[in-house]
């Protein structure tokens, strides 16, 4: 008991308050082990508001190449306060650097700190089953290694004073994390020191944040680990953005911090009302537009993906999107949908958020999903507690679908909330599909664009039949004559078809009348291999 009391002799206690008067106490230089040197200390930030027991906790692990760095860096100090003011108990640790003790000492210290938190959980007011980790660079490596702790038997640290406690964590996040050493040498010979040595052997959820131009931690090595883990069935969220080694440290925080917030809220079961989504993905660095976009899975709409600007500054039109085959994933269209969102649109796409194409589910969706999306977006627009409140223009909603998804759009054509339609490589002709048939065309009440892929497109003939049959509303038939049924949607930013789709949306939903020259005047500059025709327009 004497030893335990010494551990709780706080060297210094400070009080900090957020702008919302969320008071926290900060205790510095607490020894989580005393047997291996003076550097095994941590700072602790504890919320003085809300419940004082069974709270979620986060352990922050500094970077510095394993031979430098400190918990005292302003970035880690700020991060500690940030999460404490969100209701987490936060420990910000030092560990033995390689100049003091070689690898794997730092790995052992992180495990010891986790065990210390669990040993003192009651005094700290934390739930020992709700501890997560975050680190950057070398700290990212150590955080991911904490995530595989339950599966690793290679670190039997007999000196660990808390070795009787479990050192597993509920989740682990890493910014620019070395998943393998990437060069020859003694460290590379020890795969048990690196996350790459535990493919498919961890049930812990991970979040990996990576800069696409990082010259220190090469993205290809990070992605190799992410892909291998995901294919092995592990839960790994991967957020890759433009930036170098400082991503998630002091670069691109507008992307990485919300991703971390959602990750910890999801897996530590801390309900933060300011975080509406559970998972986030950045596609092609957020698109080519001025408002960098993300793909998110909203807590209140888990069977859809919402593609939207990361920072929503203005009221935006909406696109509801249905997938080819009426499938439950939009991953084959994410390049296009993310790019559209980056130009100031909110896109609600049928199907759960998928991190890899290999995760695609072979399952069809009902046409009623369109109404579900419309109902959800309408509710969000009217809810003052929603991040979409006053950011959604419900007077300007379009619906688009590819192949079978186009039939799903036509099955819902009567819904008055739709102002325009986009039927991509689809058409009814004389058939019935996805609750739609030729009579569904009579329900159209706004302009419609058909976009097909030439005579090799299996939907080409049906689209011609629909074009001739439509009498009441303006209709345009655009033909990318060499693109086939698959179109260009998986090309960078969705290719030429995506640009045509955005031009239509800008014209119909944003009132950009200059785009009339494409669809009415037939000016196809920049659209090689396209033909276009229209009818029912009054100049």
User: What is this structure's pTM?
Assistant: 0.87
Whether residue 9 is contained in a domain is answered as yes
Output the pLDDT for position 7.
Answer: 32
* Three-class SS state of 399: strand
pLDDT value for 397: 98
Is residue 134 in some structural domain? yes
Order the strands of the 12-17 sheet from edge to edge.
12-17, 23-31, 41-47, 89-93, 55-61, 126-136, 171-175, 206-211, 236-241
Whether the per-residue pLDDT at 38 is higher than 90: the answer is: no
Residues 449 and 404 in one domain: yes
185/206: higher pLDDT: 206
Please spell the DSSP secondary structure of 110-141, one letter per residue.
Answer: HHHHHHHHHHTHHHHTEEEEEEEEEEETHHHH
What is the C-alpha radius of gyration for the chain, rounded to an integer number of angstroms? 27
Please give the residue range of the domain that contains residue 359. 296-535
Is residue 287, in this structure, part of any structural domain at all? no
d(CA 249, CA 253): 7
CATH code of the domain covering residue 145: 3.40.50.1820
In a domain, 290, yes or no: no
**The pLDDT of residue 523 is above 90:** yes
pLDDT at residue number 157: 66
* Count: domains in the chain: 2
380 and 478 share a domain? yes
Give the C-alpha separation, 4 to 32, whole Å: 10
pLDDT at 282 exceeding the cut of 70: yes
Do 519 and 391 share a structural domain?
A: yes
Whether pLDDT at 18 is above 70: no
Does the residue 8 lie in any domain?
yes
Same domain membership, residue 381 and residue 309: yes
Confidence (pLDDT) at 202: 83
Residue 184: the pLDDT is 60
- pLDDT of 163 higher than 90: no
Mean pLDDT of 276-296: 94
Across the range 33-58, mean pLDDT stands at 94
Q: Does the pLDDT at position 191 exceed 60?
A: yes
Non-local (6+) Cβ contacts of 369 within 8 A are 303, 304, 322, 350, 408
How large is the average pLDDT for residues 148-176?
Answer: 84
| pLDDT of 20 over the 60 cut | no
Q: Are residues 265 and 320 in the same domain?
A: no
Same domain? For 51 and 121 the reply is: yes
Give the C-alpha separation, 100 to 117, whole Å.
24
Lowest mean pLDDT among 169-178, 262-271, 340-349, 421-430: 262-271
Residues in the chain: 539
89 lies in some domain: yes
- Looking at the structure, tell me whether residues 258 and 125 fall in a common domain: yes
Q: How confident is the model at residue 17 (pLDDT cuts 50, 70, 90)?
A: very low
236 lies in the same domain as 327: no
Q: What integer pLDDT is reported at residue 15 of this predicted model?
A: 38
pLDDT of 1 > 70? The answer is no
- What local confidence, expressed as pLDDT, does residue 201 receive? 76
What pLDDT, on a 0 to 100 scale, did the predictor assign at position 361? 65
Rounded average pLDDT over 494-519: 98
450-480 pLDDT, tens digit per residue, is: 999 999 999 999 999 999 999 999 999 999 9
Q: Which two three-digit tokens encode residue 480?
A: 């990318």
Do 163 and 301 lie in a common domain? no
Asked if the structure places residue 285 within a domain, the reply is no
- pLDDT, residue 11, reads 33
Query: In this structure, are residues 326 and 404 in contact, taking their beta carbons and an 8 Å threshold?
Result: yes
Report, as an integer, the average pLDDT of 308-333.
96
Percent of the chain with pLDDT over 70: 93
In a domain, 291, yes or no: no
């Amino acid at each position: 008991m004497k030893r335990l009391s010494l551990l709780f002799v706080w060297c210094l206690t400070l009080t900090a308050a957020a702008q919302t008067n969320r008071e926290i106490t900060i205790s510095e230089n607490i020894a989580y082990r005393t047997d291996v040197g003076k550097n095994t200390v941590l700072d602790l930030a504890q919320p003085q508001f809300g419940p004082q027991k069974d709270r979620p906790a986060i352990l922050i692990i500094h970077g510095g190449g394993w031979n430098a760095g400190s918990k005292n860096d302003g970035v880690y100090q700020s991060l500690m306060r940030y999460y404490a003011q969100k209701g987490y108990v936060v420990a910000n640790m030092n560990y033995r650097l390689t100049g003091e003790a070689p690898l794997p000492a730092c790995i052992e210290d992180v495990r010891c700190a986790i065990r210390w938190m669990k040993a003192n959980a009651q005094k700290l007011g934390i739930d020992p089953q709700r501890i997560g980790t975050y680190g950057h660079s070398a700290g990212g490596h150590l955080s991911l290694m904490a995530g595989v702790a339950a599966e690793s038997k290679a670190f039997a640290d007999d000196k660990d004073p808390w070795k009787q406690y479990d050192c597993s964590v509920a989740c682990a996040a890493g910014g620019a994390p070395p998943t393998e050493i990437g060069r020859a040498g003694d460290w590379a010979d020890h795969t048990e020191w690196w996350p790459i040595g535990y493919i498919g052997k961890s049930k812990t959820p991970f979040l990996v944040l990576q800069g696409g131009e990082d010259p220190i931690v090469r993205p290809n090595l990070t992605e190799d680990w992410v892909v291998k883990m995901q294919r092995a069935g592990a839960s790994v969220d991967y957020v890759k953005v433009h930036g170098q080694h400082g991503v998630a440290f002091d670069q691109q925080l507008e992307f990485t911090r919300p991703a971390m917030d959602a990750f910890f809220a999801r897996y530590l079961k801390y309900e933060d009302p300011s975080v509406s989504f559970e998972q986030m993905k950045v596609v092609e660095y957020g698109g080519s537009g001025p408002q960098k976009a993300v793909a998110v899975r909203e807590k209140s709409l888990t069977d859809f993906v919402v593609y939207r600007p990361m920072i929503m500054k203005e009221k935006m039109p909406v696109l509801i999107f249905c997938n080819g085959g009426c499938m439950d994933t939009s991953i084959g269209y994410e390049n296009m949908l993310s790019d559209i969102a980056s130009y100031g649109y909110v896109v609600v796409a049928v199907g759960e958020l998928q991190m890899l194409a290999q995760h695609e589910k072979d399952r069809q969706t009902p046409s009623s999903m369109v109404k579900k999306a419309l109902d959800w977006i309408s509710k969000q627009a009217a809810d003052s507690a929603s991040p979409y409140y006053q950011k959604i223009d419900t007077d300007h909603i379009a619906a688009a679908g590819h192949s079978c998804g186009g039939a799903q759009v036509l099955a819902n054509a009567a819904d008055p909330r739709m102002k325009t339609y986009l039927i991509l490589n689809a058409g009814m002709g004389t058939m019935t599909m996805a609750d739609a048939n030729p009579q569904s065309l009579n329900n159209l009440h706004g302009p419609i664009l058909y976009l097909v892929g030439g005579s090799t497109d299996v939907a080409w003939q049906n689209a011609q039949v629909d074009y001739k049959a439509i009498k009441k509303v303006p209709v345009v038939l655009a033909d990318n004559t060499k693109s086939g049924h698959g179109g260009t949607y998986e090309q960078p930013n969705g290719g030429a078809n995506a640009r045509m789709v955005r031009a239509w949306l800008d014209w119909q939903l944003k009132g950009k009348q200059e785009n009339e020259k494409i669809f009415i005047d037939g000016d196809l500059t920049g659209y090689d291999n396209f033909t276009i025709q229209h009818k029912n327009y009054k100049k």
